[in-house]
A and B are shown apart, each in its own frame.
Chain A
């Protein structure tokens, strides 16, 4: 995915700047609409200032942050007890394919901008793939719940949008953009229904944690590069 964005970074010209939204070739049709709504296209002639993409990414992250708990609640409600029991929490459940968002403050603070962004980039890349997987799982388990499926789909599109924004920031900052990886690998297909439910829970939970973290990341960047 990074190929085109890299080109943008190398060439540095505003001419290709809007192409950061394109890297997601498999999702090109639907995300385009959403991103077009969420983000006004960059002016081609504008110089590559990091402030604007940072601000846009920050707005999107804030917007996502508002919906993460709803997504998690909707998800849990559809999985039956004990998932749907009030106050359900299983922090012991983790996914090896998904980097955890939890990080000690010291470590986080010691990271430089590039590392921070690339970790978030990596995490959201994994999240988009996992959200797709969870969506597929749920269309088997809960085919009669369009609300849940729509929320999962929306979360995935937003994560993709955020990825695009972060790529633009990294391009503006002259940072290398990590290559797209298949983080899921061969994992999921034989999973049992319970595993799928747990997996979905971890994904929606980590989506929220990562969104919280990226809001902080971007707030820091925003302070550093004021408009």
Chain B
């Protein structure tokens, strides 16, 4: 403000002081000289008006005031009209001055004179301070915690259209905590206008007082002066609810999941704790005992909502909050109609809202063309299944524009669908489905399909099933009718066939098929058989009767149930008919006296007779035919032949099982005369069975046999092995002979025999397979089927051979038949084996004898020197009397010690106890011992024919020959007999055998026993019985000796040879050996084949 104060007194300084300095450097610079001036004035004169200050609230009037001590003031404004005002107060309201500087002179009059101040005033020096606003109304919506204020902008006072900024302050609690400072802009319109401002509190308003005030600021661009905020309006407040039945706020609020919310509790008692769900929350204290809690990011509630509970000393208060989601956009909205009367719209609600009951989503289906709508309110709580609404169709409206609006307390969502309803027809399932006969090949189908289809065409599909056939679908288009009854003809059916029909419908503008109707079975009516039966004839074996066969007509040709057949036979003389033959019979026999008849067979059903099928009775003689072979595959067999132009009608193949007797006919097949091959197939064919096939050609006058074939549909391996025997054996060869296998057991064409042979005993080789490619098995493949014998040469003598024979077909190998044969021994080798030991023994004997003879003097000197006779001793003669007087003086009185008794302590009762006091030679003794052991069974065989051992055990043989085959050998014949049984204990002393001392020991028991043993040691083939370890040894060349020992388990046998004491002759000798022998009888498999 530039004010120039001008005093009338000279040099009375002007005084001006800057009252308010808000901003503006320029303004500051302009003020500086003035300040100097004013302070000068001030120093000189105190009573002059100073500090002129002008403000305006409405631009039109400036309210100026100044400081001064005058009682009267004269204010003069120097503008176009120089006007002065006389005032008693230091305040003047002047109309707003036009732009530019104006000099204002204020003269102050007081008791000691007057002083005058001059001020320069322009708009720039005027402050714009709006009038203090007033809140006309403060209201609260407690349910939404919303405060709402209303005030008047008093715009009529201000001529300009200027912007006003309102600043609104919301304070809370008695301590006036600022909770909201908001600005609100409006525009002054020149009229008084009421303004509203709403604010939603996070804190429920019920629990705590809220205060509101506001001020304004006019932002007028045209005003160049200083603009300031108005003063704050007086406070208005909304008090908390002091006495309410409910104590906790908000109640039953529905909020969005994740939002923040504050709960508060009005209480007169101290609240101890608060919790939401199971979570305890910190308390926010409000005025008095009221408290609040703040929940952030609330999670979705259960059906019954989330409980918020405040607990005081003796009570609980609470509320329930429902946190959920706004409805999802309805998904998969689909509208269709079943009958063009009612539209069914279905949809999926999408994401669950977590809100149920009254808070659940409601749906409105609105059709925008007609403006009609239907509402969906779920009555029953259901899962997230699809929802449905029914909308009644409007006549003559085809296109519908649907909007489905989902709404719940948290929001809404919508989806739209525009459909041409005639293209969205999903008809009901056809009902009352019926079938009616028209004729044997056509029926009519009728059904009901409710719906208003008169304007459109229906497309229906008929599903036709007949037994053993693929199902057929036929589409028909039918004009829609009002009556809902439809009828359609279905033709091209087969007579006398059970059909199953279904029907379903759609519209021509296809949308969906209806469900299939229930099925309907229908049997079409009969028609006459379309063909005569397939016929064949056979002459009986005596050639007098003709047997006519025919096959039942297939159902497709019978066209009904065949009741009977008529067979007639015609010749040049006339026609002869048999009586009607009822259906299940397919064979007739006629006695015909000669050939040249034509037989005709007619099948008849309830509608009529089939065309006759004719066959000539004549059998045209044929040339000698070679029997051919054929093998089929699977259940079929392929036959081919050369076309014969003479065969005019057809070819017939008949077949039969070869094992059946004549006339044999299993079946036949007719082939047109143009074909030269056919595949014969029959369920009756079995693999491995031989069939005869006969190919007949047909000429006008009859049939001629063209070929005769034996065949198998499949060859199998023979079921039996050829029966074979050994005809002859020698030392190096075997002759084998076998028999044929019967056809039934051959099961295929015989292709040959396989003969295996190998060296081997029965038990050893049996374990090993023949096919394992072992090198020691020799195989002979006999493909010459006429060969029935086989000689196997180059064998070793006296060796057991394993022979196996098996037959084979293309179907495989038959079972094997095996046999064990031992070849005869080689006689030369035998002789050598005998002669060499004998020669050696003789040579040793001769040499020993010669030596003994030559050295006899030396031997005598060494072993038997002359001993002088003491009786001839002269020196002792004087003592003769003394010698004779006492026998005790005799020396070397030899008492021969002779065992005279052997007692067997343990033996079998059946075997006689043997006492033998004779001294026998070891060999003889052994033989004797054995013969004693088993006297009744003993067989001595010096020579044995080849033994053929059969695999099959022969109990009878065993019984008879078991113990009997014990063979005793002499030292001279060291060979075992060839017919050696398998039985091990052949060298067993046989349990029954009593013991016989091997030798009668000399009187001097010790010496003679030693001597004898020495002798025995030198004797080949013999071991003293006293030696248990060698007891069981047989002659060294016994091929089985070692095997047998292992099987030997001697039976307990205690032998006590008694030696009398040397010093005394006693009847019973003391035992010198005790021996226990266990012997077991081994089942014997011995079978000798006589040659």
Contact = CB atoms under 8 A, between A and B. Distances in A.
Contacts of B357: 139-143
A90 B310 CA distance: 13
Given A194-B251, A197-B320, A81 B278 contact: yes
Interface in A58-82: 78-82
A29 interface: no
Contact of A194 (B303, B307, B315, B381): B307
B246 A79 contact: no
Given A79-B307, A80-B307, A142-B304, A92 B316 contact: yes
7 contacts: A79-B304, A80-B307, A90-B316, A143-B381, A144-B356, A193-B320, A195-B246
B319 interface: yes
B411 interface: no
A192 interface: yes
B532 interface: no
Interface in A83-121: 83, 85, 90, 92-93
Interface string B271-282: 000010110000
Interface string B303-347: 111110100001110111010000000000000000000000000
Contacts of B246: 192, 195
B792 interface: no
B356 A143 contact: yes
A197 B304 CA distance: 9
B358 interface: yes
A166 interface: no
A145 interface: yes
B197 to A, nearest CB: 30
A141 B278 contact: no
A81 B302 CA distance: 10
Interface string A2-44: 0000000000000000000000000000000000000000000
Contacts of B644: none
Given A85-B278, A139-B357, A192-B252, A80 B304 contact: yes
Main secondary structure of the interface of A (DSSP, over half): loop
Contacts of B307: 79-83, 194, 197
B266 interface: no
Contact of B251 (A82, A192, A198): A192
B318 A141 contact: no
A141 B320 CA distance: 10
B602 interface: no
Interface residues of A, number: 23
Contacts of B314: 92
B278 A82 contact: yes
B977 to A, nearest CB: 101
Contacts of A93: 316
Interface of A: 78-83, 85, 90, 92-93, 139-145, 192-195, 197-198
Contacts of A141: 303-305, 357
Contacts of A193: 251-252, 304-305, 319-320, 322
Contacts of B301: 80
B248 interface: yes
A192 B357 CA distance: 14
A80 B305 CA distance: 7
B252 to A, nearest CB: 5
B319 A192 contact: yes
B310 to A, nearest CB: 11
B315 to A, nearest CB: 5
A63 to B, nearest CB: 29
Given A192-B246, A192-B252, A194-B251, A143 B278 contact: no
A174 to B, nearest CB: 44
Nearest to B356: A143
Given A82-B278, A194-B248, A144 B306 contact: no
Interface of B: 246, 248, 251-252, 275, 277-278, 301-307, 309, 314-316, 318-320, 322, 356-358, 360, 380-381
A88 to B, nearest CB: 11
B275 A145 contact: no
> Which of A78, A93, A193 has the most CB atoms of chain B within a 10 A radius of its CB?
A193
A197 B305 CA distance: 10
Contact of A80 (B252, B306, B316): B306
Contacts of A198: 318
B378 to A, nearest CB: 9
A82 B275 contact: yes
Contacts of A195: 246
A128 to B, nearest CB: 23
A139 B358 CA distance: 10
Given A81-B277, A82-B309, A143-B357, A192 B320 contact: yes
A78 B304 contact: yes
Given A82-B309, A85-B278, A192-B252, A144 B303 contact: yes
B314 to A, nearest CB: 6
Given A92-B315, A194-B318, A194-B319, A142 B252 contact: no
A85 B280 CA distance: 13
Q: Which 6 A-B pairs have CB atoms at the shortest separation, nearest pair first? A: A193-B320, A144-B381, A141-B304, A194-B318, A143-B381, A140-B357
A176 B319 CA distance: 43
B523 to A, nearest CB: 52
Nearest to A143: B381
A180 B180 CA distance: 57
A90 B309 CA distance: 12
A80 B248 contact: no
A38 B360 CA distance: 38
A93 B316 CA distance: 8
A82 B304 CA distance: 12
Nearest to B319: A194
A224 B358 CA distance: 52
Nearest to B246: A192
B380 to A, nearest CB: 8
Contacts of B315: 92
A80 B318 contact: no
Nearest to B313: A92
Contacts of A81: 275, 277-278, 307
Nearest to B276: A81
> Which of B248, B309, B316, B320 has the most CB atoms of chain A within a 10 A radius of its CB?
B320
A28 B244 CA distance: 40
B127 to A, nearest CB: 55
Nearest to A78: B304
A134 to B, nearest CB: 13
A81 B276 CA distance: 8
Contacts of B358: 140
Contacts of A78: 303-304
Contacts of B360: 143
Contacts of B319: 192-194
A142 B277 CA distance: 17
A184 to B, nearest CB: 17
Given A92-B315, A140-B358, A192-B251, A145 B303 contact: yes
A41 to B, nearest CB: 35
A80 B300 CA distance: 12
Contacts of A192: 246, 251-252, 319-320
A79 B358 CA distance: 16
Given A92-B314, A140-B358, A141-B304, A194 B277 contact: no
